[in-house]
Structure 1
């Protein structure tokens, strides 16, 4: 009844000159909100009112469809919704500022592959290649890694199992990968080899190779002249004053971020993985928020399930003291409170971000140990 009323009202009371897009925005957001809640019927109801999605709304819709198809959920509905959106985008109905056409082509391709429509899947994954430039940018989370995983799924569905295995192995061996890549690789390995006896050993070898490459890259970026971390007062998410010197004796990673910075939050799953990896060691990771407050950040962290330690950089004190260049930017502080490493931007995938951070921490530990040994030798 409520939906009928809204529909009738919006038709009888079209947007006036003062607010020409008010009803479109209302219907578009209702469509997005219902799909996020998993109510596909309600989404279709509001989608049939022909709303024009903004760039952010289209981004949210495509993100949700990605999660569904990658998890093999609601596949038939994903195929239908992505096809409708692609048809609309060809007619330039929606705002595609964030180049979601390429993502929707990938999503539709995987959905068709899972539904057994291999020819359509191959056609659409090939068409998505027109958006390769955007795919290769390390801005949104796992853009290229997701593509390679989806391509592997489609190749395997087409019976090209060896080619799928080669594609996925290349992805893992170069850290253009996620846990989903590993899961797909295991399935394809079974099809190629006829058993899964050596799959874990095979994957571990690829991951070790990838980590070694990244460690060498991190080693080249080591800053030989140390500088002490500024000991300014920060505030945690509960309003408590915190100083980095409180954690002297531990390795500390700090990262500047904000909720509206896509590459910043793209790295958070890797941060959480790093925190879990070093939970038994003297290690801390803090995400230092710039320009926002607890009222904005706390609900954001809770909504997304992030368990990271948040600090607020009051008046950009530490940002300015470090001459930071922007967000995201990471600094690694050794146990003596000195900085030898910094890294700007997001690495592009969950695995690469984790390996890079792990390499930075391990290199800091190794160099600190070398210094300690050198001091002991001199004192003898």
Structure 2
């Protein structure tokens, strides 16, 4: 496998690759797509497992059942107090966020986060990825939802003290800052500080430190401040329009005016002004490239001539790559009836591994594969390339923008600018 510039973190699959494959090894277990089948596999084979393998399987089952929202199954496997490896602990925090945001299981979130924080305090568990403050945020917000105001305020204050300065602004984990602001606003509002909560979320949406889960919170707080929800949609739109225009003007400067081949993509080096690194090499027309779908069927990119085409290069081991997908989904939804196509192109990894990851996540975008990285010799993930309807590269960008909405605004602006410039060029040719 070729080296990638480390904009990425280890995935569960990559973690598993470090363990030699055994008949009943963790890697085999993780390649079972459905947790129901994992459960069956474990219970049929647990008598044959060594103690270490038995612990790893139970930990994996606990994580995967929690991610699915099955609390009875999670409690069953958690009762044996398995020890979690760093990736399993990270995935536990993801599962808890899902349990809070999507399942609204506030009692369970308050209970589990409290238990996990106790384990961390005792030193029974370790937090290799700096996610302790996420557990604190979730615990505070869940307690606020349950009316435990004093506990919520104390925990959110502790969380603020625990965060590393850059933790909420890094480009690795999905929606770290926006999730924190949402939970902070929930706590402040329940505590009666509605104006603080209102101002916090107003600023968040205005600056694109936002995501779709924040809208419901914001609407509740708006009602408390204004007395009703009248005018909420217009107010929210004014904030999001301002955020979008900011990124539209920023993205305009990135437009590739002369997209001659070969073209080398670059990105700035953090904390080294004026210096860049190469991210990909385009040395052939996109119409000459054929990649396989996740089902193994060839996809000729020439078939998308006449459309704005987006290729986003990723791997399952790239945490910021996957973090960006939620923003891409919003863009795809906007252009369902338009001449537009987006593919996320997996690099380096075998089909079976990607299929399991995509099903379990789940990845809702269309996936292509370039296991040998032949198409664009990508050296940094995530990297996206935007083509105009004639197949010319008009934008490229690397890294995760830091929030779902910011990722959405940036890619949408790239698509809109590409469409507008293509329409202008077409109009000139007609004249």
Q: Please, what TM-score do these two structures have when normalized by structure 1?
A: 0.88
Given the alignment of the two structures, is residue 128 of structure 1 paired with residue 182 of structure 2, yes or no? no
Matched positions, count: 362
What is the aligned counterpart of 1:261 among 318, 327, 335?
Answer: 318
Question: Which residue in 2 is equivalent to 1:32?
Answer: 63
What is the aligned counterpart of 1:318 among 375, 379, 384?
Answer: 375
Question: Which residue in 1 is equivalent to 2:334?
Answer: 277
Consecutive aligned runs of 4 or more in structure 1 exceeding 4 Å deviation: none
Distance 1:292 1:87, change over 3 A: same
What is the aligned counterpart of 1:63 among 83, 90, 94?
Answer: 94
- Of 240-249 and 82-91, the range deviating more from structure 2: 240-249
Question: Which residue in 2 is equivalent to 1:327?
Answer: 381
Given the alignment of the two structures, is residue 152 of structure 1 paired with residue 185 of structure 2, yes or no? yes
Question: Which residue in 2 is equivalent to 1:3?
Answer: none
SS of the equivalent of 2:374 reads helix
Inter-partner Cα distance in structure 1 for 2:306 and 2:107: 54
The Cα shift of 1:288 comes to 1.0
Gaps of 5+ in 1: 1-5
Gaps of 5+ in 2: 1-41, 262-284
CA deviations 1:20-61 (Å, max 9, x no partner) are 744543443343344345454554454444432211111122
Inter-partner Cα distance in structure 1 for 2:244 and 2:320: 21
Q: 1:255–1:287: 8 Å Cα contact kept in structure 2?
A: yes
The Cα shift of 1:301 comes to 2.7
Pick the structure with greater CA Rg.
1
Q: 1:186–1:199: 8 Å Cα contact kept in structure 2?
A: yes
Inter-partner Cα distance in structure 1 for 2:404 and 2:375: 27
RMSD across aligned positions (CA): 2.5
Q: Using CA pairs below 8 Å that are at least 6 residues apart, which structure has the higher relative contact order?
A: 2
- Of 182-191 and 217-226, the range deviating more from structure 2: 217-226
SS of the equivalent of 1:225 reads coil
Q: 1:144–1:176: 8 Å Cα contact kept in structure 2?
A: yes
CA deviations 1:181-221 (Å, max 9, x no partner) are 11111111000000111001100100100000010110122
SS of the equivalent of 2:405 reads helix
Alignment of 1:174-253 (within 5 A): 174-227=207-260, 229-230=285-286, 231-253=288-310
Q: 1:235–1:314: 8 Å Cα contact kept in structure 2?
A: no
Question: Which residue in 2 is equivalent to 1:337?
Answer: 391
Q: Please, what TM-score do these two structures have when normalized by structure 2?
A: 0.78
Inter-partner Cα distance in structure 1 for 2:384 and 2:156: 35
Distance 1:33 1:269, change over 3 A: closer
Distance 1:295 1:23, change over 3 A: closer
Distance 1:235 1:35, change over 3 A: closer
Higher helix share: 1
Inter-partner Cα distance in structure 2 for 1:72 and 1:140: 21
Inter-partner Cα distance in structure 2 for 1:39 and 1:204: 37
